Amino acid sequence: MKTFAKGGVHPPENKISAGIPIEILPVPEQVIIPINQHLGAPAEPMVEKGEAVKAGQIIARNKGFVSANIHSPVSGKVLKVDKAFDSSGYKQTCVIINVEGDEWIDSVDRSDKLKRDINLTGEEIIKKCSENGIVGMGGATFPTHVKLTIPPGKKCNVLIINGVECEPYLTSDHRLLLEKTGEILTGTSLLMKALGVERAMIGTENNKKDAIEKLQSMVSEYSGISVHALKVKYPQGAEKQLIKALIKREVPSGGLPIDVGTVVHNVGTAYAVYEAVQKNKPLVERVVTVTGKDMEKPVNLLTRIGTPVSKLIEYAGGLPDSTAKIINGGPMMGKALASLDVPVTKGTSGIILIRRKESRRSETGPCIRCSKCIAACPMGLEPYLLMTLAEKELYERAEKERIMDCMECGSCSYICPAHRPLLDYIRLGKSNVGRIIRERKQK
Amino acid sequence: MNNLLTVSPSPHEYGKETTKKLMYGVVIALAPALLATIWFFGWAAILITSVSVVSCVIFESLIQKFILRKKPSVSDGSAVVTGLLLAFCLPTNLPIGLIILGALVAIGVGKMTFGGLGNNPFNPALVGRVFLFLSFPVQMTTWPVPKGFKTSFTDAITGATPLSILNENYDKIPVQNIMTDTELAMPGYQQLFWGNMGGSLGEIAAFALLIGLAYLLIRKIITWHIPVSILLTVILFTGILWLANNESNADPLYHLMTGGLLLGAIFMATDYVTSPMSKKGMIIYGVGIGIITVLIRRFGAYPEGVQFAILIMNAFTPLINIYLKPSRFGEEVKNV
């Protein structure tokens, strides 16, 4: 079975909510919509205090090409446009809306009927994605229309759909693949048309056997798409690793997938693109896995953007006493939340409750040079060395040792028998080396 | 719960492996060889091993407490491994005072001078062993003949090791005749495999060391790169010599199962701290140890060269780490 060649680890999968169908979370009384939920420039708010909005209505417009529109996920009145905490722990401008009813703008088709026929041209599809504020749903939230616009001189010959979901606990992509198979396959066809490619590969890990079976039974109805089961290994869902696993090409250091003739989109994105293009529906909701070992009722929730995290946890049975840490995203790359009042955003794939006994790091010991971090690094780096270089502020050498290639997957910190904070120091090194590189470019 | 949440950077999930588990994993891997040596040398083996392990542990904790003034970390098991490995390369009738001295040099000079676990450039057990070997050559090369629990510690019947017999007689008597000479009493392959011969404590039983290797590999404590590259190099090099002139060279299998080669290749050369970090580096290091071992065995003054070979390559490890990097992702760019 195919997988990527270098490095990787296999953390316990803990996919507790894998067998639980997607449920719809009731609309909360209030939503908090950050204007920056994507990579690139924050959107520009278009509504004012007291203004009435409908679900699906645009409330913040993209600023420049690398930016994304933001729509209201609910109907109601704008309470205020003000600074509020987002999941990163910082304050940013948010549109806060008090919910009244659930009235949608007329152009949105809210029916469940699968609409397979594609009548739009590639350019029109890209325009729809941009208008409807579609961003990468895997967590990086890169605006989709930017990724679909191929830079001059480059060529794309295969589209890769990322259904790997290699992070432990998370099951939102798994459930989407299983429950929205036709929609995702249609979304894939739309993305193929937008990119002008004849071939698409859907990659998923072999721990989602039901989804793979379903995909395989339906894929023959769609031309050019193939389904590939991959050996379970973290971080296979990382773009470069997935490309390596599926088409054996290595994206060069500092390069993009398009440099090797491919573009990668998440299954969640394929679904969002389907809804945006075929149903005229902006990106105002997403599936969020809410799970944890002591959780009463782990669930996969179709959640309106802007819903406070506390509402999701309430729906899943409330906060167990044992909880000591709450993660936004997967346990390997997700961020720990400082508050439950922060909203779900376009990039929130899961909310994971970690018990007290698993929330603490073990005591750090000296590096015994076992080289397990080197063997685990999927980028072929030497984490032990990068940590030392960052610690000693030897940034020039760290740059030569390709510290900027690190994608912060955390495999090194995970595997280290001495529990050294490898990734913490590498991150510190990366931010300093990044600053030095920017300063050099400015000169 | 209270309202305070733990906030820390990712990852939030950690593996189960710890330094302590790895160290005691090595101890478990050494257990078959220890049992085999007790079978052959009886109480003497138990005595030497205990003295060596206990002294290493005590010296490490004393130095940590009174000289380095660091938090004690002797429970991580690395001193136990050093103690076992030191005992394994000593003859079974070595005076106890010398064992303690060897342990002091191994832990004190070999390890703690450099700051303790993780910082020592040379394998501590080998530092202790070579110190004793150079300072007390007579005591260190008197090998009691294995007699099980009947082996006397003080006035044991001693004999030469197969390698020393070979070393004395190369170019004097054809190797075939050395092997069959009843007076020299060279052990056959079967004896070598089961370990019924004179030699250091832990190096005699090939089968027990191979069980240890299997455990280390299955438990993923070490990778195959270092032991396999050492053993293959020795087989190739001695094989070429043997094919070129089998009158004055022993065959590869004999080289493989005699002396400290297996013990060194499996347990000493693979010491994390003193061996290279990248796979490429590990192979170069292993090939280096193999070549130096054969050169010393066949052309040097000493019958056995594994200990020196490993220490010499330990010295090269930092250099190997600088020049032999793991292959980076995206290095070989394939064009579309």
Write down the residue that tokens 């450099």 correspond to.
B114
Question: Which residue among B21, B329, B333 sits closest to A405, beta carbon to beta carbon?
Answer: B329
Confidence of residue A313 (pLDDT cuts 50, 70, 90): very high
Whether residue B5 lies within 8 A of chain A, CB to CB, comes out as: yes
More confident residue, B275 or B258: B275
One-letter-per-residue 3-state SS of chain B: CCCCCCCCCCCCCCCCCCHHHHHHHHHHHHHHHHHHHHHHHCHHHHHHHHHHHHHHHHHHHHHHHHHHCCCCCHHHCHHHHHHHHHHHCCCCCCCHHHHHHHHHHHHHHCCHHHCCCCCCCCCHHHHHHHHHHHHCHHHHCCEECCCHHHCCCCCCCEECCHHHHHHHHCCCCCHHHHHHCCCCCCCCHHHHHHCCCCCCCCCCCHHHHHHHHHHHHHCCCCCCHHHHHHHHHHHHHHHHHHHHCCCCCCCHHHHHHCCCHHHHHHHHCCCCCCCCCCHHHHHHHHHHHHHHHHHHHHHCCCCCCHHHHHHHHHHHHHHHHHHCCCCCCCCCCCCC
Examine the pLDDT at B156 and tell me if it is beyond 70: no
Q: Residue A280: exposed, middle, or buried by beta-carbon count in 10 A (0-12, 13-18, 19+)? A: middle
Please provide the size of chain B in residues.
336
- Cβ–Cβ of B12/A423 closer than 8 Å? no
CB atoms under 10 Å from CB of A281, counted, come to 22
What pLDDT sits at residue B121?
95
- Cβ–Cβ of A369/B327 closer than 8 Å? no
- Cβ–Cβ of A168/B13 closer than 8 Å? yes
Mutation site for B-interface testing, chosen from A9, A339, A372 by largest number of B Cβ within 10 Å:
A372
Write down the residue that tokens 């092997």 correspond to.
B179
- Cβ–Cβ of B328/A248 closer than 8 Å? no
Q: Residue B243: exposed, middle, or buried by beta-carbon count in 10 A (0-12, 13-18, 19+)? A: exposed
Q: How far apart are CA A83 and CA A80, in angstroms?
A: 9
> In Å, how far is B75's CA from the nearest CA of chain A?
12
> In Å, how far is A110's CA from the nearest CA of chain B?
38
Query: Which of residues 217 through 256 in chain B touch A, CB cutoff 8 A?
Result: 223
**Token digits for A7?**
């490095």
Question: Which residue among B6, B328, B329 sits closest to A325, beta carbon to beta carbon?
Answer: B6
Those residues with Cβ within 8 angstroms of residue B319's Cβ, 6 or more apart along the chain or in another chain: none
Task: Enumerate the residues of chain A whose CB falls inside 8 A of the CB of residue B273.
Answer: 368-369
Q: What is the rounded average pLDDT of the residues A407-419?
A: 96
**Token digits for A388?**
């030392």
> In Å, how far is A63's CA from the nearest CA of chain B?
30
Question: So what's the ipTM on this one?
Answer: 0.89
Cα-to-chain-centroid distance, residue A441: 30
Task: Enumerate the residues of chain B whose CB falls inside 8 A of the CB of residue A377.
Answer: 326
Those residues with Cβ within 8 angstroms of residue B107's Cβ, 6 or more apart along the chain or in another chain: B55, B56, B59, B60, B63, B79, B82, B124, B128
Task: Enumerate the residues of chain A whose CB falls inside 8 A of the CB of residue B9.
Answer: 336, 423-424, 427
User: Which residues are registered as beta bridge partners of A266?
Assistant: A162
User: Least CA distance to A417: which residue of chain B?
Assistant: B18
Examine the pLDDT at B106 and tell me if it is beyond 90: yes
Q: What percent of chain A has pLDDT over 70?
A: 100
User: Least CA distance to B326: which residue of chain A?
Assistant: A380
Mutation site for B-interface testing, chosen from A371, A420, A425 by largest number of B Cβ within 10 Å:
A371
Whether residue B76 lies within 8 A of chain A, CB to CB, comes out as: yes
Task: Enumerate the residues of chain A whose CB falls inside 8 A of the CB of residue B78.
Answer: 368
pTM value is 0.91
What pLDDT sits at residue B335?
43
> In Å, how far is A388's CA from the nearest CA of chain B?
13
Q: B303 to each of B142, B160, B198, B288, B306, how far by Cα in Å?
A: 13, 11, 14, 18, 10
Examine the pLDDT at B252 and tell me if it is beyond 60: yes
What pLDDT sits at residue B49?
95
User: Least CA distance to B75: which residue of chain A?
Assistant: A365
What pLDDT sits at residue B152?
63
Q: CB–CB of A382/B281 below 8 Å?
A: no
User: Which residues are registered as beta bridge partners of A343?
Assistant: A308
User: DSSP for A353-384?
Assistant: EEEHHHHSPPPP-------HHHHH-TT---HH
Mutation site for B-interface testing, chosen from A369, A399, A427 by largest number of B Cβ within 10 Å:
A369
Whether residue B74 lies within 8 A of chain A, CB to CB, comes out as: no
Q: How far apart are CA A263 and CA A384, in angstroms?
A: 32
pLDDT digits (tens, 9 = 90+) for B126-152: 999 999 999 999 888 888 877 777 766
SS3 A53: strand
How far is the first Cα of chain B from the last one, in angstroms, to the nearest whole number? 55
> In Å, how far is A56's CA from the nearest CA of chain B?
34
Q: How far apart are CA B127 and CA B273, in angstroms?
A: 14
Q: What angle do CA B108, B111, B116 make, to 5 degrees?
A: 110
What pLDDT sits at residue B153?
63
Residue B251, phi then psi, degrees to nearest 5: -80, 160
Task: Enumerate the residues of chain B whose CB falls inside 8 A of the CB of residue A11.
Answer: 13, 15
What pLDDT sits at residue B1?
45
Is the backbone peptide bond immediately before A320 cis, with ω within 30 degrees of 0? no
Q: How many CB pairs under 8 A join A and B?
A: 170
SS3 A416: coil
Please provide the size of chain A in residues.
443
Confidence of residue A443 (pLDDT cuts 50, 70, 90): confident
Confidence of residue A26 (pLDDT cuts 50, 70, 90): very high
Beta strands A350-355 and A285-292, pairing class: parallel
What pLDDT sits at residue A34?
95
Q: How far apart are CA A326 and CA A335, in angstroms?
A: 8
Q: What angle do CA B209, B210, B215 make, to 5 degrees?
A: 95
Q: What percent of chain A has pLDDT over 90?
A: 92
Q: Residue A343: exposed, middle, or buried by beta-carbon count in 10 A (0-12, 13-18, 19+)? A: buried
Q: How far apart are CA A368 and CA A372, in angstroms?
A: 10
- Cβ–Cβ of B19/A365 closer than 8 Å? yes
Examine the pLDDT at B52 and tell me if it is beyond 90: yes
Q: How far apart are CA B74 and CA B61, in angstroms?
A: 6
Confidence of residue B334 (pLDDT cuts 50, 70, 90): very low
Amino acid at B6: T
**Token digits for A398?**
């760290």
Q: How far apart are CA B241 and CA B249, in angstroms?
A: 6
Specify the DSSP element, H or E, that contains A30: strand A30-34
- Cβ–Cβ of A369/B273 closer than 8 Å? yes
Give the lowest-confidence range in B214-223, B251-260, B306-315: B251-260
Q: How far apart are CA B242 and CA B262, in angstroms?
A: 20
Question: Which residue among B11, B17, B275 sits closest to A331, beta carbon to beta carbon?
Answer: B11
Question: Which residue among A250, A352, A365 sits closest to B73, beta carbon to beta carbon?
Answer: A365
CB atoms under 10 Å from CB of A218, counted, come to 15
pLDDT digits (tens, 9 = 90+) for A336-359: 999 999 999 999 999 999 999 888
Q: Which of B210, B223, B236, B208 shows the shortest CA–CA distance to B293?
A: B236
Mean pLDDT score across all residues of chain A:
94
Task: Enumerate the residues of chain B whose CB falls inside 8 A of the CB of residue A362.
Answer: 14, 18
Whether residue B118 lies within 8 A of chain A, CB to CB, comes out as: yes
What pLDDT sits at residue B155?
60
Question: Which residue among B12, B15, B17 sits closest to A354, beta carbon to beta carbon?
Answer: B12
Confidence of residue B313 (pLDDT cuts 50, 70, 90): very high
Is the backbone peptide bond immediately before B11 cis, with ω within 30 degrees of 0? yes
Confidence of residue B336 (pLDDT cuts 50, 70, 90): very low
Task: Enumerate the residues of chain B whose CB falls inside 8 A of the CB of residue A249.
Answer: 334, 336
Confidence of residue B332 (pLDDT cuts 50, 70, 90): low
Q: How far apart are CA B97 and CA B103, in angstroms?
A: 10
Question: Which residue among A369, A378, A416 sits closest to B118, beta carbon to beta carbon?
Answer: A369
- Cβ–Cβ of A334/B12 closer than 8 Å? yes
Q: How far apart are CA B39 and CA B31, in angstroms?
A: 12
Q: How far apart are CA B163 and CA B170, in angstroms?
A: 10
Q: What is the rounded average pLDDT of the residues A65-93?
A: 94
Task: Enumerate the residues of chain A whose CB falls inside 8 A of the CB of residue B116.
Answer: 366
- Cβ–Cβ of A253/B328 closer than 8 Å? yes
Task: Enumerate the residues of chain B whose CB falls inside 8 A of the CB of residue A320.
Answer: 1
Task: Enumerate the residues of chain A whose CB falls inside 8 A of the CB of residue B17.
Answer: 372, 415, 417
**Token digits for A136?**
């990468």
Write down the residue that tokens 């010991």 correspond to.
A365
Amino acid at B200: S
pLDDT digits (tens, 9 = 90+) for B169-207: 887 888 888 888 777 778 888 888 888 777 888 888 899
Give the gyration radius of chain A's Cα atoms: 21
> In Å, how far is B87's CA from the nearest CA of chain A?
22
Write down the residue that tokens 């006493």 correspond to.
A321
